[in-house]
Amino acid sequence: MTDHKMKALLIGIDAGCLPVFDRLIEDDVIPNIQSICENGAVGPLTSQIPPWTPSAWPSMYTGVNPGKHGTFGFVDYDGYDWHVVSADHVREHAMWTLLEEHDLSSVVVNVPVTHPPDEIDGAIIPGFIGPEHPDSHPAGILDDVIDEIGEYRVYPKYERDDQEWTDDEKMEEYTSLVRMHGEAFRYLEGEFEPDFGFVQFQKTDTVFHEFLGDWEKVKQVYAEADRQVGKLLAECDAEQVFLASDHGMGPYDKQEFRVNEFLHDEGYVETTQGGKGMPSWNPIRSQLREGENEETWEPNIFERFAATIAKHGFTASRVGKSLRSIGLDSLIKPYVPDNVARTASEQVDFPASTAYMRARVELGVRINLQGREPEGIVPKSEYEDVRSELIDLLAGVQTPEGEPMFETVAPREEYYNGEFTESSVDIVTVPKDFEYFISAQLQGEQFGPPTEPWNHKLDGVFAAMGEGIDESASLEDAHLYDVAPTIMAAMGIQYSERMDGRVLPVVDDIGATSYPEYGDELERNVSDEEVESRLADLGYL
């Protein structure tokens, strides 16, 4: 046992928020999380737009908006084609690389969009969106973790909607994953003795999506997450503890709005039968779960056949209606791959359309601009006129209840700035109070019941406690971008002047400084010999 003490520990609770915490506290489910909130400063943490995992966590750990780091959703685009994002798409320095500039080491476990991992003084085991059994740093460290704790996985063993698994078995998977991630972090913290630690729990988010807000299941997952938080507090002995989430979670009681259906009715979207399907990472989820490092998805023979017959009128929707009419849909569905429905459905014809929603999580509309898109049809000289016309049109959309559909419809410049702003949507559409589910699918009608009754809300949570933390400080207007500069300041390190956030008043702001641009070699205050010696001592060299 050494006298080492971690300077700062960041615990990530995906989708954590005060309304959910309050209800769990009332049910006496999260005493350890409650202790952080009650013994420190706590408040809502406004997420970014879009408030979704693959873009929001990179914004948290870099401190910059997506226009600077370049990741806006689950997928990135090459013209009209798409592939799943990875850490290679996050083109801004993460906190742990900046800390290494000051000879501070880190252990990072299960944080989304960290695969492939940075090579740092410390250890990284990537999380969500990377493959199962991901490449980790240093090489071989994940095998060492598995030898120590017995098993380690990123994803459940089953696929969603797998009827062979009972709900109890699925929940056992969920709680096992939470336990594995906590145990892996604690083991690595003991081995590497880092100055900064960051562990993230993902299943506190996915339990809402997969089980539609079933409160008993939510309680099971949070109970295990809280147990792990308690062990982190007891065993890691950090000087300062921070808890943060990427967004909140809550019910969607209102209608679903299908943006591309609306744009089709207004003459902006053209459609085609069959094809690859709407941009999404869902088609390759199973490959990632099986450990394949897939980046994109191409239809197989069966799926291409479905796309071909769709061009002759045999769409997934039409076939489904026929099966339902004779009562066979429930019998046939288990034997039909999910991706067949994608390829056998009416799709947006991106090259032929004036404007469209590429994916719902982007929360916005993209214009098919000449010179930017491979087959753009909107001349650059008409771009602003078309965008203004669309902004006015979308701002006027009303729900079936006669309420405004969107809280904000605005040019992207109001939300993004930086080198990669051009990769974003052209028009940002923020649903009113995040009560309306946004869909990019074409389903024949503009409105319908929400696909998911629980989904993301804009306000997450931030809490801080420990040495030097002002527990009485107001966290009013705290933003996702503030997390990185606040933690760096708490550790006595100047944050990057490129960061869009501010230092929250829980600690003193010691100012910003310049760091090399991303892609340039950072000067390391720790020598290669020192790193090699440390790894050799730990048995990794």
Taking the chain (541 residues) in consecutive chunks of 10 residues, what is each chunk's mean pLDDT? 83 98 98 97 98 97 98 91 91 98 98 97 96 96 98 92 91 98 98 98 96 97 98 96 98 94 98 66 56 54 45 47 46 41 70 96 97 97 98 97 95 98 97 93 92 94 97 96 98 98 98 91 41 34 31
Distances (CA, A) of 69 to 74, 111, 208, 482: 14, 16, 28, 15
The segment(s) of the chain belonging to CATH 3.30.1360 are 253-270+349-451
Architecture per CATH, 13-251+456-538: 3-Layer(aba) Sandwich (3.40)
What does the pLDDT read at residue 296? 56
Q: What is the pLDDT of residue 529?
A: 43
CA–chain centroid gap for 49, Å, is 12
> How many CB atoms are closer than 10 A to CB 425?
25
Q: So what's the pLDDT on residue 408?
A: 97
Q: pTM for the full model?
A: 0.86
Q: pLDDT at position 185, please?
A: 98
d(CA 196, CA 239) in angstroms, rounded, equals 10
| Cβ-based burial of 381 (10 A; exposed 0-12, middle 13-18, buried ≥19) | exposed
The answer to whether residues 300 and 385 touch, using CB atoms and an 8 Å cutoff, is no
- Specify whether the CB–CB gap between 483 and 247 falls below 8 A: no
Strand locations in 229-320 (E)? 240-244, 248-251, 256-258, 271-273
CATH says 253-270+349-451 is which class?
Answer: alpha beta
Q: How far is CA 486 from CA 382, 469, 507, in A?
A: 43, 11, 7
Cα 511 to Cα 489: distance, rounded to the nearest angstrom: 8
pLDDT value at position 295? 56
How many secondary structure helices (H) and strands (E) does the chain include? 18, 22
Instruction: Give start-end residues of each CATH 3.40.720.10 domain in the chain.
Output: 13-251+456-538
Q: How many Å apart are CA 87 and CA 114, to the nearest integer?
A: 5
State how far the Cα of 28 lies from the Cα of 373, in Å rounded to an integer.
53
Q: Which of 42, 61, 58, 104 is nearest to 242 (CA)?
A: 42
